[in-house]
Amino acid sequence: MNTVYLPFTLTLKARAVISAAGGDPNSSKTLGYIPGSTLRGAVARTLGDPGTDRDSPSFRTFHDLVLSENIRYLNAYPRISGRRTIPAPASLQRAKYPEDDGSADGNRALEVFDFLHSEKPEKRVAGLPYEFLALGEARPTLRAPSSGARIHHQRDRVMGRAWTERNGKVEIARGAVYAYEYLESGQVFEGLVVLRGTEDEIERRRAALKARLPETLLVGRSRRGSYGGDTRLKWSKAVSCEFEGAGTLGLALQTGDLDPGQVFRVLLTSPYIGRNEDTGQPDPTWFEAEILQRLAEASGSDPAARVVKRWWGFETAGGFNRKWRLELPQARALAAGSVMLLEATRGIPAATLAEIQHAGLGERQTEGFGRVVFLDPPVAALRLEIDDSTGEAQAVLPPDPPEEVLALERRLLTARAHRAADQTAALLVQGAKRIPPNSLLGRLRTPLRGEAETGLSHLKTWLGSGEEALKA
């Protein structure tokens, strides 16, 4: 089976709220990336209702681009210098205090320690402050997406304010204050669409996908309320694999055959939703059994590897179906960045590793879940670069505000200047012993009420040191 990857970039021209599962009901926490389900949903929305006739061209197109197992929409992660990032391995930890990791001196590099290695650091450690990492480079780079938060006020339309209705012991809130966390505009995210099948099937899907998707997409929630991302979609040349580049020691891609006794790592680059084959229940820890089973399938039923160490994280995975106007069932998932250290018990061909990376693991693979990459053995310590830029695209400036808004801004600025002047004057007169009477103050105000230049000239003379200066 042939496999082709179609890279694409999404450039945010506006803020985007990509809601994460969980959190307070009156708030929305955003993800640091754009999920593959977002692009898949955009394709489904563009195609519309396929109908019930399975032989119709519209239904076949809908099946090829949305329902088929031979197409996968991978998550769009932040981009660094033309390279797609992935979630950093959870086993990487930094020194807890800046003076211990070298960043206190202004260096744009961070010393990290891999806890899958047998040698442990003597320093106190903490998690990485940067969520994503660019693989395949000689100098791996860390990056955190730029995000912000904004508070909104939902008012009752009749009362004009938020209030609480009390009906006995029951309180009903009318209006609320809620907060949105969002991704800032100007950032670039890169994802991939995986196409599998014969050459003719891949070409048909590729042509249909590019023809159906518009260049401008709205993503996330509150798309009509100043959010929505207003993303610009741009396709790149097709490639044969998800990851490219040799990388560096400790973060190099494992692309060759594995010999018996050789140690390697498997890193989750997207959340994994698994189902225990014995109980039939959702089970994120089934990842271990599934990866060992897939490694053994290539050459007999004997185990091909054993688990040495693991460093896992967990999260809740959900979603929303706009067609049904319902949330998708939530499931406990193994978080992206979870990593395992394995040892090959017999030879494992490189083709087996490549097939696992092409196909993915677990459920909801069409939406980009269950993606993995194989890495070389860990090293005790690494030096990683830090990228603090806001993105490859310049932030889009808002249009000029209307005159009413400018007038409000001037009034607010004037009021703030008056308050600052009053506070400064109050500090100056704190130690005064002889306060001038109101009659004298009135006489002093008279020259100041004329032309601005004349008033400032009088004020400069009074506060000077000449003969006409005011004396205490």
pLDDT at residue number 105: 47
Confidence category of residue 455, pLDDT binned at 50, 70, 90: confident
Percent of the chain's residues with pLDDT above 90: 45
For residues 326 and 323, give the distance between their C-alpha atoms in angstroms, rounded to a whole number: 8
pLDDT at residue number 22: 72
pLDDT at residue number 472: 59
- Among residues 172, 169, 184, 1, the alpha carbon closest in space to that of 78 is found at 184
Question: Of 152-161, 322-331, 437-446, which range is least confident?
Answer: 152-161
Q: Is the per-residue pLDDT at 28 higher than 70?
A: yes
Q: CATH says 2-88+130-147+182-241 is which class? A: alpha beta
Distances (CA, A) of 404 to 186, 301, 411: 28, 74, 11
- Among residues 204, 145, 159, 161, the alpha carbon closest in space to that of 10 is found at 145
Confidence category of residue 369, pLDDT binned at 50, 70, 90: very high
Amino acid letter, residue 266: V
Per the model's pLDDT, the better-predicted residue between 172 and 274 turns out to be 274
For residues 278 and 289, give the distance between their C-alpha atoms in angstroms, rounded to a whole number: 11
Strands (E), 250-296: 263-268
The model's pLDDT over 108-167, given as tens digits with 9 standing for 90+, comes to 788 899 999 988 888 888 888 899 999 887 788 999 999 888 877 766 667 776 677 888
pLDDT at residue number 282: 93
Confidence category of residue 230, pLDDT binned at 50, 70, 90: confident
Enumerate the domain spans of the chain.
2-88+130-147+182-241, 263-375, 438-472
Average pLDDT over residues 427-446: 79
Q: Is the per-residue pLDDT at 314 higher than 50?
A: yes
Q: Is the per-residue pLDDT at 443 higher than 50?
A: yes
Phi, psi of 462 (to 5 degrees): -65, -35
Phi, psi of 210 (to 5 degrees): -70, -30
- Among residues 334, 407, 320, 431, the alpha carbon closest in space to that of 19 is found at 320
**CATH fold match for the domains 2-88+130-147+182-241 and 263-375:** yes
pLDDT at residue number 299: 63
Confidence category of residue 102, pLDDT binned at 50, 70, 90: low
Structure-block tokens of residue 435: 């306060």
365 Cβ contact partners less than 8 Å away, ≥ 6 residues apart? 69, 72, 359
Q: In CATH terms, is domain 263-375 a member of 3.30.70.1900?
A: yes
pLDDT at residue number 168: 82
For residues 185 and 172, give the distance between their C-alpha atoms in angstroms, rounded to a whole number: 36
pLDDT at residue number 157: 66
Q: Is the per-residue pLDDT at 446 higher than 80?
A: yes
Average pLDDT over residues 183-195: 94
Helix axes of 36-47 and 199-212: crossing angle, nearest 10 degrees: 80
Q: What does the angle CA 70 – CA 76 – CA 81 come to, to the nearest 5 degrees?
A: 125
